[in-house]
Amino acid sequence: MAEAKAAVRSLFDHLASEYVAQREREFSFVSQKRLVLEMLSGARGRILEIGCGAGYTLPDLVDMGFEVDAIDLSEQMVARASEHVRRHRPGASCRVATGDIERLDFATAQFDAVLLMGVLEYLPSYAQAIAELARVLKPGGCAVIAVPNGASAYHVTRTMYRKVRRALGAASGQASAGNPCLPWQLDGDLAAAGMRKIECAACNFIFFPLKDRAPRLSDRINRLLTPAARRPSAPLLGAQYLAKFQKT
């Protein structure tokens, strides 16, 4: 486990400059951020963002009136997130530090809300992470979680392609993007931890291999389908699954 976390930390330390240059402008991230902020719109008080990256949601959380704590495993990401907050919301009530989702350095029932985007897929198992998330959340508080959707058309076909390539003894030619999660499995694990699902959505409507072969066409299709993010069929198409849970 320690080696896996060291690898993730090294990966995002390396990617920090790329995130600063590109991430905030990517349509997939903009769509995801819009949805999670909508899901948090009724919450108030103190919020913890786990895996804050370069901090591109932090000014929005401050503007919504939250008292913000944010952590990330990568020291490079924390440095950039701190600078982003200082530049865009000087004097804001926002603390940024390194931290580990499986060992949160906060007392029990400290937060009214928790935000978690793009973290669970980098863990071999997320049982301990969910237990920690539930521990630091106040009763009645909410958690908004975004993960790669393993049930989506993109991830199903991409995974099948990789398996066939391996069976034929050939390299897949596709870099791993973490371990996609199955929505119903995530929902069940959260329910077992005392978290009730309130709502869900999907975004990043991409398809394999179109995303790699014709990126401009893929982007147009993604933009066309994005308004359907909250429809019941969205989790079958959107490569990113988002859900809001309440601690019972």
Residue by residue, what is the 3-state secondary structure of 98-119? ECECCECCCCCCCEEEEEEECC
**Distance between CA atoms of residues 16 and 85, nearest Å:** 16
Per-residue model confidence (pLDDT) at position 170: 66
Write out the chain's pLDDT in tens, 248 residues: 667 676 666 666 666 666 666 777 889 899 999 999 999 998 999 999 999 999 999 999 999 999 999 999 999 999 999 999 998 888 888 999 999 999 999 999 999 999 999 899 988 888 999 999 999 999 999 999 999 999 999 999 988 887 787 777 765 554 445 678 899 999 999 999 999 999 999 999 999 999 999 999 999 999 999 999 999 999 889 999 999 999 99
Per-residue model confidence (pLDDT) at position 15: 64
* Domains of the chain listed by start with CATH number: 2-149+178-204+238-247 (3.40.50.150)
Per-residue model confidence (pLDDT) at position 175: 46
**Distance between CA atoms of residues 60 and 79, nearest Å:** 18
Shortest CA distance to 202 belongs to which of 149, 153, 157? 149
Per-residue model confidence (pLDDT) at position 134: 97
**Distance between CA atoms of residues 200 and 35, nearest Å:** 9
Q: Report how far Cα 245 is from the mean position of its chain's Cα atoms.
A: 14
Per-residue model confidence (pLDDT) at position 63: 94
The structure tokens listed for 201 are 């959505």
Distances (CA, A) of 51 to 54, 58, 99, 173, 223: 9, 11, 9, 28, 26
Contacts of 44 (CB under 8 A, 6+ apart): 65, 66, 112
